[in-house]
Amino acid sequence: MSLFNILGGEFIEIIEWTDDSRDTMVYRFPTVGNAIKYGAKLTVREGQAAVFIHEGQLADVFQPGLYMLETNNLPILTRLQHWDHGFRSPFKSEIYFVNTTRFNDLKWGTKNPVIARDPEFGPVRLRAFGTYSMRVTDPGKFMQEIVGTDGEFTADEISFQLRNIIVQEFSRMIAASGIPVLDMAANTQQFGQLVAKAISPTVASYGLTIPEFYIENISLPDEVEKMLDKRTSMGIVGDLNRFGQYAASEAMLNASNQPGGMGAGLGAGLGAGMGMAMGGMQRGPWGSVPQQAAPQPAPQTPPPLNPETVWHIAVDGQAEGPYGRAKLGRLANEGKFTRETLVWTPGQDGWKPADEVNELAQLFTIAPPPPPPPVPKQG
């Protein structure tokens, strides 16, 4: 073995880490059996941090940049090692690279339903799910609190703990909000901001932050959603008695569709009964609305005695009238109403000539009385 190989196996001169995975948060640089050469080059790329651990103690933390590992760049390690000012010997230390980029599209969701009290429906069971992102903001604290000596730490190892924190805070907040479940879809952004703010102190104690948090859906159990659909279709919500009547009526209507005269008759009678029952209430989109009292009917007056019959007459292909018998008599005297004029009155079978109607034929048979004799002139 050449001298170059021996030295290469003993001293580390270049320290760097490149990663193409999407979930590695911490990577331990292999230094077992090798010493780090004094003046070695440390390359920390954007989205990374390098943490030096010496004999189990957190030493120096390097942000992105190119460093020469010398005593002036290793103040904490120099103090721990009690290095003199002129120290230039190789040294040993554990080096961890921490990924400080965002880890996106992490999932969270309620494993069990959250019990909340709704002002309209009473106690309800809610489920929710969404996504969030996280990133390391304090590499040293993250190493001390979470990673320890794990040589390759992934996001899956911390995501379960974060999900528990998120669900706990979401459950507490949703139960205390008092917002109706039908309005929660319009407030998911507000809920997300409140939950992210509430969990930030706990997450920060791990050296992490949650830059984005989203609530994608808040849902009711399938059984409750089906009941809501039925209540929406009938237009009354909040009155269980009416809803029970509706459900029973719907079942009976379905039975009436079966073959058999009894079922058909039952369906007809039930349909009429439902019409009368539901006609007395005004329905709104989410509940019955108190209906104003129906106006009192106006007092009925007796019909007039011997009501006069009126007729329509046909003039030049157009219907005119209605006219009473007296008016028709005047038209007859004026020559505008003749025996052949077609007339019609309610209850009559079509249009008829006037002389075929007994009441009107008399207008043409009554001759006027003779004029009085002339008065003799005085001589």
If one compares 6 and 216, the residue with the highest pLDDT of the two is 216
Cβ atoms within 10 Å, residue 39: 12
Pairing of strands 94-99, 114-118: unpaired
Check residues 267 and 119 and name the one with the higher pLDDT.
Answer: 119
Q: How far apart are CA 365 and CA 329, in angstroms?
A: 11
Across-strand partners of 54?
57
Among residues 294, 304, 306, 345, the alpha carbon closest in space to that of 323 is found at 345
Q: Percentage of the chain surpassing pLDDT 70?
A: 73
Pairing verdict, β 11-15 and 35-44: parallel
When mean pLDDT is compared across 93-97, 242-246, 354-358, the lowest value belongs to 242-246
Q: What is the pLDDT of residue 275?
A: 47
pTM confidence score? 0.56
| More confident of the two residues 348 and 44 | 44
Q: Which has the higher per-residue pLDDT, 268 or 371?
A: 371
pLDDT tens-digit series, residues 41-73: 999 999 999 998 888 888 889 999 999 887 666
CA-to-CA separations, 37 to 14, 17, 139, 163, 231, in angstroms, rounded: 9, 17, 24, 43, 77
Query: What's the pLDDT score for residue 257?
Result: 66
pLDDT of 6 higher than 50: no
What is the per-residue pLDDT for 345?
A: 87
pLDDT score at 157: 93
Is a pLDDT exceeding 90 seen at residue 24? Answer: yes
Kindly report the three-state secondary structure assignment for every residue of the chain: CCHHHHHHHHEEEEECCCCCCCCEEEEEECCCCCEEEEEEEEEECCCEEEEEEECCEEEEEECCEEEECCHHHCHHHHHHHCCCCCCCCCECCEEEEEECCCEEEEEEECCCCEEEEECCCEEEEEEEEEEEEEEECCHHHHHHHHHCCCCEEECHHHHHHHHHHHHHHHHHHHHHHCCCHHHHHHHHHHHHHHHHHHHHHHHHCCCEEEEEEEEEEEECCHHHHHHHHHHHHHCCCCCHHHHHHHHHHHHHHHHHCCCCHHHHHHHHHHHHHHHHHHHCCEECCCCEECCCCCCCCCCCCCCCCCCCCCEEEEECCEEEEEECHHHHHHHHHCCCCCCCCEEECCCCCCCEEHHHCHHHHHHHHCCCCCCCCCCCCCC
Give the residue with greater pLDDT, 205 vs 378: 205
> What is the pLDDT at residue 137?
96
Rg (alpha carbons) of the chain, rounded to whole number:
49
Average pLDDT, the chain: 78
Instruction: Evaluate if residue 7 carries a pLDDT over 60.
Output: no
Residue 266 has pLDDT above 60, yes or no: no
Of residues 215 and 316, more confidence is placed in 215
Determine what percent of the chain is predicted with pLDDT higher than 90. 27
How many residues would you count in the chain? 379
Q: Set out the domains of the chain in order of their start, with CATH numbers.
A: 3-99 (no CATH), 103-220 (3.30.479.30), 311-363 (3.30.1490)
Mean pLDDT confidence for 114-139 = 90
What span, in angstroms and rounded, lies between the C-alpha atoms of 98 and 112?
34
- Averaged pLDDT, 149-163: 92
Greater model confidence, 260 or 75: 75
Q: Flag whether pLDDT at 147 surpasses 90.
A: yes
Indicate the pLDDT class of residue 284, thresholds 50, 70 and 90. Answer: very low
Is a pLDDT exceeding 90 seen at residue 156?
A: yes
Residue 280 clears pLDDT 90, i.e. is over it = no
* 223-253 per-position pLDDT tens digit: 777 877 777 776 654 556 666 777 777 777 7
